[in-house]
Amino acid sequence: MPENSWPENDSYNEHRDAINRVSTKIDSLLSDGGDEIYDVSTLEELESDYFQGGSNRRRKAAIALTLIWASTIGLHLVSWGVWLVLGLTSLLSIQALRVLFARPRPVPSPLSEETRSNWPLVSLLVAAKNEEAVIARLVRNLCNLDYPVDRYEVWVIDDRSTDKTPLMLDQLAKEYSQLKVLRRGAGAGGGKSGALNQVLPLTKGEFVAVFDADAQVTPDLLRRVLPLFERQMVGAVQVRKAIANASLNFWTKGQAAEMALDSYFQQQRTAITGIGELRGNGQFVRRAALDRCGGWNEETITDDLDLTLRLHLDHWDIDFLNIPAVQEEGVTSAIALWHQRNRWAEGGYQRYLDYWRLIVSNRMGVLKTFDMFGFWIIQYILPTAGVPDCLMAIARHRPPVFSPLTGMALTLSLIGMTTGLRRIRRDEEQQQNFLLALSQTIRGTIYMFHWLIVMPSTTARISVRPKRLKWVKTVHQGSTDESFEF
């Protein structure tokens, strides 16, 4: 075994107490000042109240679904229902205008060669399971960054791979001194979150980055990301995600437009002190912030969305970097997209079900809470309410009561997607073409209608059937011209 490979017995068991950060450091998140110390019994009570999954989430989801349906039906039955919707639309339109007219924060200059000796230590983490198609490409990519070799480390957590991934990592560990491999045993749990928590005590970086196995980055990524942390309240930075195989078919082209829309909203929302969000692949987190928030939550499906909320509840900001992007493979079929987006939708719901008390207590502050409220209505509530709204509209022969809000949301999406696509081309110094961006927006909008099916069905399912937490793997294809010699 290479000298920079660690079996589970030498790491996980030895550092078990440090690894359980979610349960032992949750006091900093749930306490008002972040300095109180809770005893074991209090910690167990807090975990039970805020981090319990299973039937507790199912009960909350059922209550939420009942309220959404009942409220929507009620709005059709009262004469002032349409006025209430118009009032809500007007309120959210104020936030929409703030988003649209915001000026993105200026991007700081990359790290200068003159300060090379003071560049921070960074730990890059990759959780991998059966990734023989892409792992070698990623490791070589990360191990050849334009950054001092002694100032960053690459950790790959092999989560019981049964293909050639372990053999590839052994060979790559001999080739690159900064590559370190941690192998998980049969008893290790927690999915991706568990893998990241397991390796965290072994890492040394002041900043911790997480990448998916299919990621590809530019050599100057670290030099461009790290200056964003100069603002001390920035607890994390998300790099824009781009679809590497965007030209393949309708589904991948739609995902490319969706990523452009997401990048636009990320830039605009952070500019108005709103909610910046982590997206899993290409996320950088300040270790101090990660420690205060208790690491990655192993009781959630989407660790990135969960960590996003906990960082904001702990009064950290999440910034966004548009250029350069981290490339990733888009799913290539409707079935794969359906499974992936159902997981994303359920993970998004879980964070609201788990932390709703802290959210409504305005712990994040007025600006962030209002921003979260607006996008929660548009992204989660409106699609779910669309089902009873359409049924009542048909039964009563009148327009859907949420038509004004739907129109506002659609307009915001169209403007955001078009602007996002053009902004990316501008930042990448490509020729801008409004008609091209508009045609991509129309196709992307048609593609985005899948959320109108995903959100209601996910809401209904989690209300009646619990889901066993597991790491759902997205199959990566890699490039056909890649090879690896043993």
Average pLDDT over the chain, rounded to whole? 86
Task: With a cut of 90, say whether residue 15 has pLDDT above it.
Answer: no
Q: How many Å from the N-terminal Cα to the C-terminal Cα in the chain?
A: 15
pLDDT value for 482: 53
Joined together, the tokens standing for residue 40 give 């074991």
Joined together, the tokens standing for residue 201 give 């005590």
Closest to 69 in 3D by CA, of 466, 448, 463: 463
Say if residues 319 and 237 touch (Cβ distance below 8 Å).
Answer: yes
* Mean pLDDT lowest among 149-158, 327-336, 394-403, 473-482: 473-482
Find the mean pLDDT for residues 289-307: 92
What is the model's pTM?
0.86
Find the mean pLDDT for residues 436-441: 90
pLDDT value for 12: 42
- What is the band of 454 on the pLDDT scale with cuts at 50, 70, 90? very high
Find the mean pLDDT for residues 126-130: 92
Could you give the CA distance from residue 369 to residue 362 in angstroms, rounded to a whole number? Answer: 6
Find the mean pLDDT for residues 165-175: 93
Could you give the CA distance from residue 163 to residue 473 in angstroms, rounded to a whole number? Answer: 14
Give the Cα-Cα-Cα angle 119, 120, 123 (nearest 5 degrees): 130
Residue 54 gets which letter from DSSP?
T
Closest to 468 in 3D by CA, of 258, 268, 249, 299: 299
Joined together, the tokens standing for residue 247 give 């030209």
Residue 216 gets which letter from DSSP?
B
Task: With a cut of 50, say whether residue 52 has pLDDT above it.
Answer: no
